[in-house]
Structure formats: C-alpha cells, structure tokens
A = this chain, B = another copy of it.
Amino acid sequence: MDERFKQIAKLFQRLPGVGPRQAVRFVLALLDKPDSEIEELGYAISHLKQDISFCNQCFNISDSAVCSVCSNPSRDRTKMLVVEKVTDLDSIEKTGLYKGLYHVLGGAINPLDNVLPDNLRIKHLESRINVLTESVKEVELILAMNPNTPGETTALYLKSQFTDKPNVLITRLGRGLASGSHLEYADESTLKHALEFRK
C-alpha cells in the first residue's frame, strides 16, 4: 500500500477504538462507495463544529442555545442528574424513566490524565443548583458517575462540594447486581454495594 493511503488510514485511528486494521478497512470500504456518499461524510466532518452545538445549560448536544430537555416546561426542576458524558445522558434518557434535568460534567476527575475538578463543568453546576434552589424547596442532585475510580472520585468530590448547600439532597444511582447477572458470580465490590444499597 502506498504512502498517501497509509497516511489517510492513520487519520481514522484517531476515532475511539479504531486500530490500524480497522482503519485500513474503513478507507477501502469508502473507496467502494459512490462519490456522493464519500463527499457527504467528508463535508459533515469538516463542518462538524459549525453544525453541532451544545446546550448552554446542561451541555447536552443541541441545535439551539438551550436543549429540548432544559427548555421542556414539563421536566421536573427538583431533580438534577449529573453524568460524565453526553452518551451517559443519552442512555438514561432512552429509558424514558427519568423526568428531571441533566448536567453533563464533560468527564471525571482523573489526575493521571490531568483531569482535575477545574477541567469539569462543576462551577456551572453550582450556579444552576443555586438558581434552582431559589424557586423550589429542595433539589435532588443525583450523582450518576461510572462505577470506577475516576467516577467514584468525582462523586466524592461533588458530595463534598454540595453537602453544605441548603435545600440540596444528594443521592447516587443504585449499585449492585445488574439485571440478568448472578449472585454466585458477582465480584466482592458488587456484593458490597448490593448490601449497602439494599432497601
């Protein structure tokens, strides 16, 4: 394979989870497509940042300045579920079971990757909570970080930041056995949390 081909394949390795072999397959597959399809993808990528913007409230993906969740008057303004990434928000929204607001932090605290509290949208979360508590008696701040070290660290940090706020109730998503799993094969940490979160 020639140099330019290799260069282009390498660009595709910037996509998450794409290795050298899959990158090559992507380029070869595109070469088989009609010109119009290739052009459409190239254009979409080149104009990505112009075309896609974020809600200035919760940082969800949004066409407009305020996203469809934040601008929906029927959402419950006494609940704020805090997630690391837009894809986490998306997973929960797809269940249709949560009717409150969201806040996307933009990651989780991970000193090894140089992600510190200041790199996350925590200040912005504070001002949103302050505004909400002015108009409602109590706001439930639901911490929905991932059950791993950066997620746990972030949850602990947020707890420490919001624990003294008046009218804020801090909760965490339930931990324990996932649906379809087996008690017998659960790891110790999952069983520990299953005992702790029993109710």
Query: Which residues does chain B contribute within 8 Å of A44, judged by CB atoms?
Result: 7-8, 11, 42
Which stretch, A13-21, A115-123, A159-167, touches the partner chain B? A13-21
Contact check, B192 vs A95: say whether CB atoms are below 8 A apart.
Answer: yes
Complex contact B199–A174 (CB within 8 A): yes
Decide yes or no whether A61 CB sits under 8 A from chain B. yes
- Copy number in the complex reads 4
Contacts of A180 in B (CB 8 A): 147-148, 187, 189
Q: Assuming A24-B87, A184-B91, is B16 touching A29 (CB within 8 A)?
A: yes
Known contacts A28-B85, A90-B1, A171-B199: A95-B191 contact under CB 8 Å: yes
What is the total number of residues of chain A having a CB less than 8 Å from a CB of chain B? 95
The answer to whether residues A38 and B33 also contact, given A8-B52, A15-B26 and a CB cut-off of 8 A, is: no
A144: CB under 8 A from chain B? yes
Nearest B-chain residue to A60, judged by Cβ: B1
Q: Which among B1, B85, B198 is the interface contact of A174 at CB below 8 angstroms?
A: B198
Give residues of chain A (156-186) contacting chain B, Cβ–Cβ below 8 Å. 171-186
Q: Is the CB of A173 within 8 A of B179?
A: no
Bound form: Cα–Cα A84–B179 in Å: 16
Pair B2/A31 contact, Cβ less than 8 Å: no
